[in-house]
Amino acid sequence: MTTVQETAAVRYGMWVLCPAIGAALVWGLKLAASWVTGLSWFPFQGVFELVTDIPDPWATIGAIVLGVIAGVVFALIWASEMLAVDVAHDRVTLRKDDQSFEFLRGEVESAFADGKQLVLLAADGTELARETSDLSAGKLRAAFEAQGFRWREADPFADDFLLWVEHTPELPPDVNALLAARKKAIDEYEHGEAGELAREIRKRGVFVKDTKKRQYYRCAR
């Protein structure tokens, strides 16, 4: 079996790096608070004045703690969006955000990278999975080919995708409702929710991908 995932330096280092950067940024804002309160045109003056009113060392301690918390939250979001791919001779397993999606060899006709997304196709053109990650397309290709799976250079159904607009008549009402909810999730940067909604839409025979926050869809043949 071949596993493709983020390096150990990324998977473990982010738990140190993100809180450290968060603490440094918030501490830097605390240091800049006195200067900002002297700029009458700068917005949120009340917030910065409140910061300058807090005596040290409590202001410094509070800034560092707040920054660490923000960094941990960012690391949690980052970790939830990481994809790990296990490719064995008889199956492909995708692991993301404590979820696991397994596809047997007979189900997977081919795989390819569409931008930053890994896509698995069935023989009839059905999209079995479409998951976003920062994994190297070259490493993914090597893993699939090493286990005898077909790797495509591009999406053979790219020209079938159409721009989605609200109440698209071609689509059932429930799919339009899911796509509307997914658009809201994308606009609010709720990537985990957007991914889950895409899986629900896929169960209904409609496959969706994004380009610059716009949703494109194609229906199963």
* pLDDT the model gives residue 199: 94
160 band by pLDDT with thresholds 50, 70 and 90: very high
What's the token pair of residue 160?
A: 């079938």
CA distance 213 to 221: 25
Q: Which residue has the higher pLDDT, 131 or 60?
A: 131
pLDDT over threshold 90, residue 189: no
Task: Give first-to-last CA distance, the chain, whole Å.
Answer: 32
Mean pLDDT for 43-66 is 73
Q: For residue 40, is pLDDT > 80?
A: no
pLDDT, position 101:
93
What pLDDT, on a 0 to 100 scale, did the predictor assign at position 17? Answer: 86
- Using 50, 70 and 90 to split pLDDT, how confident is the model at 204? very high
Closest among 133, 123, 119 to 202, alpha carbons compared: 119
Highest mean pLDDT, choosing among 17-26, 29-38, 131-140 = 131-140
> Could you tell me if 63 and 111 are in contact, meaning their C-beta atoms sit under 8 angstroms apart?
no
In angstroms, the CA 150 to CA 52 distance is 62
Q: What is the pLDDT of residue 67?
A: 82
Integer CA distances (angstroms), 53 to 15, 56, 66, 182, in order: 32, 9, 17, 43
Tokens of 2: 């071949």
pLDDT score, position 9: 78
- Residue labelled with tokens 């189900």: 107
Question: DSSP alpha helices (H): ranges in 82-219?
Answer: 137-146, 173-187, 191-203
The span from the CA of 151 to the CA of 108, in Å, is 11
Distance CA 99, CA 95 (A): 6
Q: How many residues are given for the chain? A: 221
Query: Between these two residues, 41 and 105, which has the higher pLDDT value?
Result: 105
